[in-house]
Amino acid sequence: MKPKAVVLLSGGIDSSTTLYYALNKGYLCRVLVFNYSQRHVREINSAKKIASLAGVDYLVLKLNFPWRGSALLDKNAKIPLGKEDRKEIPSTYVPARNIIFLSYALSYAESISASEIFIGANAVDYSGYPDCRPQFIRAFQKMALVGTKAGVEGKGIKISAPLIKMKKSEIIKLGAKLGVPYEYTWSCYRGGKISCGRCDSCILRKKGFKEAGLEDPLWKK
């Protein structure tokens, strides 16, 4: 019997590659997609499409951040122009987002007796978010082991971030080998029919495909 895993899927390059990675490792995957009143639903639709193409069941959870606190939650806030080597935490950071998402995933995983949670966090080519770093994943893992029945009984649920130390180009090369349908992924913070090409996420996507020596299939559609 295949081991069960919960995969967090946003519809972007990293999370989509992570899903295909987990499937390639032989896991029976269940996908969580979050609608947290972000600026657009384009990424949600991409996540649903990717999950469907991968042949896995998914749940879309509706959350609400009434206090906003992020340019991704406030349509009147400006999306900052992208930087490849950003040092500061940008306004697109959503307060404690991955803590909240992983907490839902942990509850779901424990309820279905899944042994692992996969998240596409990346600490190399990313926008400087503190909840995408190895120390955060390690800290959440410790909490999961002491704060759940599964953990206390010695059946702890593993938190896996297989892409966390990879460059975007390396992630894209891996995904290409695994058959990730990148033409259906979405990276742009602004949404719309066409990527803006100027936000952090767009710049990192373009840089990744260029360094991987591959053409971004999103633009072939």
The pLDDT score that the predictor gives to residue 120 is: 98
Domains with residue ranges and CATH for the chain: 4-220 (3.40.50.620)
Of 162, 159, 93, which Cα lies nearest the Cα of 123?
162
The pLDDT score that the predictor gives to residue 122 is: 94
- Per-residue exposure over 144-170, b if at least 16 CB sit within 10 Å of its own CB, e if not: bbeebebbeeeebbebbbbbbebbbbb
Instruction: Tell me the pLDDT of the chain (221 aa) as tens digits.
Output: 899 999 999 999 999 999 999 999 999 999 999 999 888 899 999 999 999 999 999 999 999 888 888 988 888 888 887 665 666 888 889 999 999 999 999 999 999 999 999 999 999 877 789 999 999 999 999 999 999 999 999 999 999 999 999 999 999 999 999 999 999 999 999 877 889 999 989 999 999 999 999 999 987 65
- Per-residue exposure over 74-110, b if at least 16 CB sit within 10 Å of its own CB, e if not: eeeeebbebeeeeeeebebbbeebbebbbebbbebbb
The pLDDT score that the predictor gives to residue 22 is: 98
| Structure letter (DSSP) for residue 199 | S
Residue 76 has which token pair?
A: 């009147």
Query: Do the Cβ atoms of 47 and 10 come closer than 8 Å?
Result: yes
* Alpha carbons 14 and 191: distance in angstroms, whole number: 17
The pLDDT score that the predictor gives to residue 82 is: 66
The pLDDT score that the predictor gives to residue 88 is: 81
Entry pTM = 0.95
